[in-house]
Chain A
Amino acid sequence: MKTLRILLLLATLGLPFGRAGIAENIVRDDINGIDLITLKTGVKNVVTIKGTLPLGHAASPVDNPALAMLTGSMLDKGTLKHDKFEIAQMLESVGAGLGFGVGTETLGINGKCLTKDVPLVISLIAEQLREPAFSPEEFEKVKKQYVGALKQALDNTNLQAADNFSRAVYPLGHPNRKTPTTEMIAAVERTTLDEVKAFYAEYYGPAHLTLILVGDVDSAAIESDVTKSFAGWAGGKLPETLDVVGGNLDTAREQTVFMADKTNVSVVWGQATGMRYSDPDALALRVGTDILGGGFSARLMGNVRDKEGLTYGIYGYMANDNLRDGDWRIWANFAPDLLDKGIESTRRQLNKWHNEGVTAEELADRISGLSGEYKVGLSTTDGMAGAILSALQRGYDLSWLDEYPAALSSLTLDQVNSAIKKYIDPDKMVLIKAGTVTDVTNK
């Protein structure tokens, strides 16, 4: 593969198909506190389901960072009505997929099925959310599997670089700050099933549940299915989060995470922005950043990779800012013996971009490209459902999906270059290197 392309902006821009707006075709209902959204598209027989509850890692209490993860991991391990094998059999016999995943701030629900099986999948989402069995045997298995997954992550240079970066730019209590692996393993091992049950009882419920179904859907039938499956379920509480903002930590500006026997070094280099996706200047900075690091013809790939051959992949992007203030980062890979050269080349591009800004021609090209990317991205049910979910998480009304192209087109060169100057400061950035780096630096 030429490269593993990160289409980070794909789900961030809105452009209807030119035939009808997206928002006017969306059906949205409040059912027992559940925000239910359906959209029929041209695809036949396939339905993508995405859902969220605000119960990701950030919902864990400060003294037990594993609690939200362990609770979410118990959802598909059997209910009061069916054990996990029976549930799997019901899904597998019709080829449907359904999973729950605990992310930074949300519990994600991801499903895919044929149209005829939507009622079954909705009923199983409801059953697993409402009636988890919390079997002691399954809980011990979940704990062991999670510890195994955490240990495997210690082998991954990308994850180690990103984890350490988060602790260098986000303060304690910030949702985007990752718990060190050793602390997380210890938390997993000491967590009891009673604590998980108590967490579930306090926070789980329909009050903040969002469900999105896109594809070959019948909105009225789905409304009926959701009403029936979730009838009588009550509760749901937003977890408390600390009012802390990323940035300005007293931390080493360069850090090395030494990992033996690695032939590639992962680099994360950046800073907290203090901005959410929906903040007024965020769009300008996002497009400016895309010109630096958004694709093959962006400055970083065009120079550090294409001209100098120093890396397989190098990107610049803004991250983790849907729900809270996020960060700006460059992510790159370098061979250990080309690491210093690669970082210097990157620094040249970063400084030039920061000092001189972007050009009018670059901006026009990127606006055109980003608009086209989203048009293409919305051609699958996954892409469309993801765009709707992202819009909601960012706090927008769904009309934003249609309004975005105009906002994008109205960006001026001055707005973009001013945002770069205002929010980005290369001198305050943190540089993390993870891999077999012999010159271990922490300064």
Chain B
Amino acid sequence: MKLRILHALLLAMLPFGATATPESVAVEGFSHVKTVGDVSEYVLDDNGLQVLLMTDDSAPVVTFMVTYRVGSRNEVTGTTGATHLLEHLMFKGTPNYNREKGNNIDQVLEAIGAQYNATTWLDRTNYYAQIGSEHLELYMAIEADRMRNLLLRDEDRQPEMTVVRNEFEIGENDPTQVLDKEMTAVAYLAHPYHHSTIGWRSDIEGVSIEKLQEFYNTFYWPDNSTVTIIGDFDPAEALGLVKKYYGAFLKAPHPIPQLYTVEPEQTGQRRVVVKKAGQLGVVGVAYKSPSARHPDQAALQVLGSILASGKNSRLYRALTDQSLTTDVSDYVGFFHDPSLFNLWANLAPGVTHEQVEKIIFEEVEKLKKDGVTQDEVTAAASKKLADIAFARDGSFNVASSINECIAAGDWTLYYTLEEDYGKVTPDDVKRVANRYLNEDQSVVGWFIPLVPAAE
């Protein structure tokens, strides 16, 4: 019965109105690489640009997204936050599109009602717009143009630096974000996941326009990026537009630098304490976990859910339901390189950190020793599968999910992870718990509130 539920969920995963694997289209200048599920992959032969297409005509809307395989993992001391600052400067214009001409990207996209933005994360930077299908060429032209023609002026960097610094300051307002940032910094000694994507304040303030130009000229090339188009469009026409606008660029004149730093094995628990004004304490526990592409990823995601997602999770029952925490949550990293398996507990008034930390470790050890039930696995896997189905409600949601798989190094994870959830067994969950949830490879963080922040 449990398996039938999972199978039913898997069948329900077909996105939008798709009912059969789409046929690839032949457009001169492109090679069809493969089709998996409803997504067809092409490469623009002249410059190596990867293109992913998925059609859906349930609404006359399309999402166009370009993902650059550069994130804060590509930064070093002195340039932390540079990827993100560059992302902001990507909106400052090119010789063809700029505010002085009245056709800056913000002006153009807001006039057509686009939902658009850009984000930077550990492994990637993406730029996107969800628009009426009739505007696809308009947006593609302006998006492609900034791949290689960005103005990147210091007169733009100066005011934007303070904008980004304010974004940093907003994050610092939240004690949990501060604790997470410090726990991550302690977890990684060598690997650049050590620093947060927004960077250190002094680097945000100090990075020069020359460094940002160097960054742009190192990573912003067709052969280091993927174009994803999801929604109501004609594939052959779309590929024609991609060729028209992105075919104008050569591939990078240099090899794209590849990160070779590997985090050394952690040999003992590390602890972090953050003390600031606040109301209630927080306890976080982070264990080292493998990359998104690792075969254990699905079992780890299920494990995280069993431990701390929903009312039936182990920690909800042991902590929140006992009025020791206001809530608990899990976050299992899904990144290109080995990551962190995070558990969070927000303390209820009057409860001590020691008390909650002790229970978290007791519950983890109990799970490692006794394993989990089939019911727990079924519920957790079902939640993950349903989340995938829900994330296919709308072209932007699909593109966003694929974007994270591109960043992780394999866009087909969009489908294979879903298949893997259906195969996770209680033995798998117990095995990965014993393999990864080890105290010696953990970081414990406490946020200790000092005084009431407001009354």
Contacts and interface: CB of A to CB of B under 8 A. Distances in A.
A186 interface: no
Contacts of B16: 42-44
A411 interface: no
B173 interface: yes
A312 B221 CA distance: 28
Which of under 10, 10 to 19, 20 to 34, or 35 or more describes the interface residues of A? Answer: 35 or more
Interface in B408-455: 450-455
Contacts of A195: none
A116 B113 contact: no
Contacts of A10: 115
A377 B114 CA distance: 9
B132 A311 contact: no
A379 B113 contact: no
Interface string B185-215: 0000000000000000000000000000000
Interface string B137-166: 000000000000000000000111111111
A331 to B, nearest CB: 12
Interface string A64-83: 00000000000000000000
Interface stretch (B40-48, B67-75, B237-245, B272-280): B272-280
B299 interface: no
B382 A94 contact: yes
B110 A312 contact: no
Contact of B170 (A92, A152, A306, A333): A333
A41 B166 contact: no
B8 interface: yes
Given A2-B87, A264-B173, A312-B166, A89 B312 contact: yes
A147 interface: yes
A97 B384 CA distance: 12
Pick the most buried of B130, B173, B320: most chain A CB atoms within 10 A of its CB: B173
A376 B396 CA distance: 10
A113 B383 CA distance: 10
A85 B311 contact: yes
B120 A148 contact: no
Given A114-B12, A148-B280, A149-B326, A2 B115 contact: no
Contact of B312 (A45, A85, A112, A333): A85
Contacts of A85: 311-312, 317
Nearest to A15: B113
Nearest to B392: A46
A164 B15 CA distance: 45
Interface in A91-131: 92-97, 112-116
B59 A378 contact: yes
B296 interface: no
A160 interface: yes
A384 B8 CA distance: 26
B394 interface: yes
B163 A312 contact: yes
Contacts of A215: 393
A17 interface: yes
Pick the most buried of B107, B375, B385: most chain A CB atoms within 10 A of its CB: B107
Contacts of B58: 41-44, 379
A240 interface: no
Contacts of A148: 280, 326, 346, 348-349
A97 B382 CA distance: 11
Contact of B59 (A46, A263, A312, A379): A379
Nearest to A138: B321
A379 to B, nearest CB: 4
B60 A334 contact: no
B118 interface: yes
Pick the most buried of B120, B276, B387, B455: most chain A CB atoms within 10 A of its CB: B455
A381 B393 contact: yes
Nearest to B58: A42
A374 B61 CA distance: 11
Interface string A166-196: 0000000000000001100000000000000
A311 B166 contact: yes
A382 B393 contact: yes
Interface in A1-53: 1-3, 5, 7, 10, 17-19, 41-46, 48
Contact of A93 (B5, B91, B455): B5
Given A141-B323, A379-B59, A369 B118 contact: no
Contacts of A250: none
A154 B166 CA distance: 21
Interface string B102-132: 0010110011111101111000000000111
B390 interface: yes
A411 B100 CA distance: 28
A261 B453 contact: yes
Contacts of B384: 95
A208 to B, nearest CB: 28
Contact of B118 (A1, A258, A371): A1
Interface in B363-378: 375, 378
B18 interface: yes
B349 A295 contact: no
B329 to A, nearest CB: 14
A295 B378 CA distance: 43
A351 interface: no
A144 interface: yes
A295 B110 contact: yes
A379 B277 contact: no
A88 B277 contact: no
Contact of A145 (B59, B348, B378): B348
B453 A262 contact: yes
Pick the most buried of A95, A307, A372: most chain B CB atoms within 10 A of its CB: A95
Nearest to B60: A17
Nearest to A257: B454
B259 to A, nearest CB: 23
> What are the 4 tightest A-B residue pairs by CB atom distance, in nearest-first order?
A372-B113, A42-B58, A95-B386, A309-B159
8 contacts: A41-B59, A44-B16, A44-B18, A45-B12, A97-B386, A154-B454, A155-B175, A381-B393
Interface of B: 2, 5, 8-9, 12-18, 56-61, 87-88, 91, 99, 104, 106-107, 110-115, 117-120, 130-132, 135, 158-167, 169-170, 172-175, 276-280, 310-312, 317, 320-321, 323, 326-327, 346, 348-349, 375, 378-380, 382-387, 389-390, 392-395, 397, 450-455
Interface of A: 1-3, 5, 7, 10, 17-19, 41-46, 48, 84-85, 88-89, 92-97, 112-116, 140-141, 144-145, 147-149, 151-152, 154-157, 160, 181-182, 215, 257-264, 295-297, 302, 305-312, 333-335, 338, 365, 368-383, 434-435
